[in-house]
Amino acid sequence: MKHEFLDHHREGNSLVHLFDPRLKLLMMMVFIIMVVTVSYERKQWLLFYLVIPIAFAGLSRISILHFLSKLFKLYPMIFLITILIPFFPLPNETPRQFFGIAISISGLQKFFLINAKSILVLFISIVLTITTDFMMLLKGLEKLRVPPIMTAIVSFMYRFIFLLIDEVERMLMAYQSRYLRLSLGKRLKIIANMIGMLFIRTYERGERIYLAMESRGFQGTIHTLNDLRWKKTDTIAAVIFLSILLVPLLSIPF
Amino acid sequence: MLAVKAENLSYSYPDGTPALQEISFSVPEGEKMAIVGPNGSGKSTLITLLNGVRQGKGLLEILSLSLNRSNLPQIKQWVGVVFQNPDDQLFCPTIFEDIAFGPLNQGLPADEVRQRVENALQSVGLEGYQKRSSFHLSFGERKLASLATVVAMDPRIIALDEPTSNLDLSHRRKIIRWLQKNPHTIILTTHDLDMALDTCQRVMILNKGKIVADGRSQELLSDRMILEENDLELPLRMQTPHSVKKFKSMQKINNR
Ligand SMILES: Nc1ncnc2c1ncn2[C@@H]1O[C@H](COP(=O)(O)OP(=O)(O)O)[C@@H](O)[C@H]1O
Ligand SMILES: [Mg+2]
């Protein structure tokens, strides 16, 4: 199909691909917590933490450019959200003038910190999700006691979101081929109708899927074959990962 | 034994639409029957009644077991339903999960489930498709995969809603061959009367929720009167030499 979001890198046999999905999810969570709690005084730690996603990217034997291209697709959003921060000084702060523009130094620091952290978090998320089979990710979440209803929702979304997008595209096409020029009010009315139609169609599809599930014996719980095995390499990887993560803490005087 | 026995079976949708009105018929085990009729005549509704996902009024027995709450799990295992749109039937991230869904609900052990998935895929000619995602498959492949989801449950009766609609010729032929070699009791609905003639010895015509004819497909599908009364047309194979000749000359033009 035309939605090319699922890339072929999910299937591979590098070390990173073979890590247990639970390991990847846990590493991601620990990494995110460590990164997010770094203060501005210790900003150099962030540079050090960059080692970890880069190491994973290297081990995965996927071109670093591939990761960077994904990163640059996601990052601009964060940049746009944070761009205004330097222009708002704290209540007791006197902003400095740069070329006639008042800029808050603390705001600038905050801007820098948030962006650096976001890049790290995005980077590790991209590396670990690109190298994990989607089904494996779901199974990992399931084993980590994420409620089955949540994994089921994610799984359905993954399956049907593109069907929904296709439907929207078809409706838009049908609409554009019938109307040439309309006033804004009329257009809004048509769009509201379309949203309503979409809602009904999705609802009906949900009902049909439910019938199909029921007719194959569904009784309220989704059973999956969960055959994840924690390997020795996973334990070793976890230990190495945690030791690297803790290195910067050594620099704190006791 | 009778695979299906229905007596005065009716069904109305919650909004009051009477989809089926007091229909009675029975299907012996091993028989293949096609249900035909114009749009809205209640064919799809009847298919969903067969394994109890919708429950009508009147008597319905599957393999001599009457349909009620306590028999429902058994009946769902016996009657596999292939819905018209494969996108409704394939709702998991990969084909493996889709096909394993039924067997897992039956509580089968893991190895057996894997074996079932493999056998089911083989029976529809999709060997090695376990890890594929259904949204990367063609419509024809998805249709075959949706057959496999039902085959994997090892049903005794298979009910299919318009199995050949929207298919290209090669997938249509695959489905026809699959239906022909299948030893199960089969009940299908269709607008493809040539397919019905190829696969089913019996045809039932449904119109506005009532059975208007029921008989051997060779006879019913050559009866122009009764077909036209129900907005149906003679299958190509049954058309008169004159119209066949016309069709052949048309083919010649197309082939040039
Ligand atoms: N979900 C529904 N709610 C209400 N009425 C329905 C629903 N589905 C079908 N119907 C109505 O039931 C009748 C039979 O429909 P259906 O069984 O789909 O016919 P067929 O498959 O022969 O085209 C039609 O009049 C149709 O409009
Ligand atoms: Mg129908």
Q: Which of B79, B88, B101 sits opposite A208 (nearest CB)?
A: B88
* pLDDT higher at A96 or B245: A96
Q: Averaged over B108-132, what is the pLDDT?
A: 95
Residue B249 is part of a domain; what is its CATH number? Answer: 3.40.50.300
User: Is the pLDDT at B256 greater than 70, yes or no?
Assistant: no
User: Is the pLDDT at B184 greater than 70, yes or no?
Assistant: yes
Task: Write down the pLDDT at residue B242.
Answer: 59
Which of A154-158, B29-33, B199-203 bottoms out in mean pLDDT, i.e. has the lowest? Answer: A154-158
Task: Write down the pLDDT at residue A215.
Answer: 93
Phi, psi of B90 (to 5 degrees): -110, 100
User: Is the pLDDT at B255 greater than 70, yes or no?
Assistant: no
How far apart (Å, rounded) are the C-alpha atoms in residues B203 and B216?
6
Pocket around ligand 1 at a 6 A CB cut-off? B 13, 15, 17, 19, 37, 39-45
CB < 8 Å to A225, chain B: 100, 104, 110, 113-114
- Answer whether B85 sits within 8 Å of A213, measured CB to CB: no
How far apart (Å, rounded) are the C-alpha atoms in residues A247 and A85?
31
Low-confidence residues in chain A, pLDDT < 50: 1
One-letter amino acid at A209 equals: I
- Answer whether B53 sits within 8 Å of A214, measured CB to CB: yes
Task: Write down the pLDDT at residue B251.
Answer: 52
Question: Any idea where the domains of chain A sit in the sequence?
Answer: 15-143+227-251, 148-215
Task: Write down the pLDDT at residue B180.
Answer: 96
Chain B nearest-CA residue for A221: B105
How far apart (Å, rounded) are the C-alpha atoms in residues B105 and B113?
10
Q: Hunting for tokens 């489930």 — which residue is that?
A: B113
* C-alpha triplet A170, A176, A181: angle, nearest 5°: 165
CA distances, A4 to each of A7, A10, A63, A162, B15 (Å): 7, 13, 18, 10, 41
Q: Hunting for tokens 């074996």 — which residue is that?
A: B115
Contacts with B, A 93-122, CB within 8 Å? none
Q: Hunting for tokens 């039902």 — which residue is that?
A: B150
* Ligand index nearest the alpha carbon of residue B163: 2
Q: Is B22 exposed, middle or buried (0-12, 13-18, 19+ CB in 10 A)?
A: middle
Q: Where are the beta strands (DSSP E) in B43-163?
A: 57-62, 65-66, 79-82, 157-161
Give the pLDDT band (50/70/90) at residue B140: very high
A125 contacts: CB under 8 Å, gap ≥ 6 = A28
Structure tokens at B223: 């009866």
Residue pair B56/B11 in contact by the 8 Å Cβ criterion: yes
How far apart (Å, rounded) are the C-alpha atoms in residues B156 and B4?
11
- Answer whether B104 sits within 8 Å of A1, measured CB to CB: no
* Ligand index nearest the alpha carbon of residue B18: 1
B188 contacts: CB under 8 Å, gap ≥ 6 = B32, B33, B34, B35, B159, B160, B161, B162, B163, B179, B196, B199, B200
Task: Please give, rounded to a whole number of angstroms, the shortest distance from the CA of A152 to a CA of chain B.
Answer: 9
How far apart (Å, rounded) are the C-alpha atoms in residues A68 and A49?
17
Structure tokens at B203: 């045809």
Give the pLDDT band (50/70/90) at residue B142: very high
- If one counts every other C-beta atom within 10 angstroms of the C-beta of residue A189, the result is 12
Q: Which residues surround ligand 2, an ion (CB under 5 A)?
A: B 44
Chain A / chain B CB contacts < 8 angstroms? 85
Residue range B67-89, pLDDT digits in tens: 988 999 999 999 999 999 999 99
Task: Write down the pLDDT at residue B218.
Answer: 93
Look up residue B156 and give its DSSP letter.
Answer: S
Q: Which of B76, B77, B91 sits opposite A156 (nearest CB)?
A: B91
Average pLDDT, whole number, for chain B? 92
Structure tokens at A16: 């990173």
Q: How far is the CA of B231 from the centre of ligand 2 (A)?
A: 15
Interface test with A, best of B48, B78, B84, B92 (most A CBs within 10 A): B92
Task: Write down the pLDDT at residue A246.
Answer: 87
Task: Write down the pLDDT at residue A16.
Answer: 86
Highest mean pLDDT among A130-134, B126-130, B245-249: B126-130
User: Is the pLDDT at B100 greater than 90, yes or no?
Assistant: yes
Give the pLDDT band (50/70/90) at residue B238: confident
Domain tally for chain B? 1
Task: Provide the domain limits for residue B171.
Answer: 2-254
- Length of chain B equals 256
Query: Which residue blocks in B27-108 are alpha helix, DSSP H?
Result: 43-50, 72-78, 86-89, 95-105
Look up residue A250 and give its DSSP letter.
Answer: G
Residue pair A24/A15 in contact by the 8 Å Cβ criterion: no
Q: Where are the beta strands (DSSP E) in chain A?
A: 96-98, 101-103
How far apart (Å, rounded) are the C-alpha atoms in residues B53 and B17?
18
Q: Is the dihedral of CA B160, B161, B166, B169 positive or negative?
A: positive
How far apart (Å, rounded) are the C-alpha atoms in residues B37 and B213?
10
User: Is the pLDDT at B95 greater than 90, yes or no?
Assistant: yes
Give the pLDDT band (50/70/90) at residue B164: very high
Task: Write down the pLDDT at residue A1.
Answer: 44
Q: What percent of chain B has pLDDT over 70?
A: 94
B49 contacts: CB under 8 Å, gap ≥ 6 = B9, B11, B20, B55, B56, B60
Q: What ipTM does this complex have?
A: 0.86
Contacts with A, B 155-214, CB within 8 Å? none
Task: Write down the pLDDT at residue B243.
Answer: 54
Residue pair A138/A69 in contact by the 8 Å Cβ criterion: no
User: Is the pLDDT at B224 greater than 50, yes or no?
Assistant: yes
User: Is the pLDDT at B29 greater than 70, yes or no?
Assistant: yes
Q: Averaged over B100-123, what is the pLDDT?
A: 96
Task: Write down the pLDDT at residue A251.
Answer: 77
Residue range B145-154, pLDDT digits in tens: 999 999 999 9
Q: Which of A135, A212, A216 sits opposite B94 (nearest CB)?
A: A135
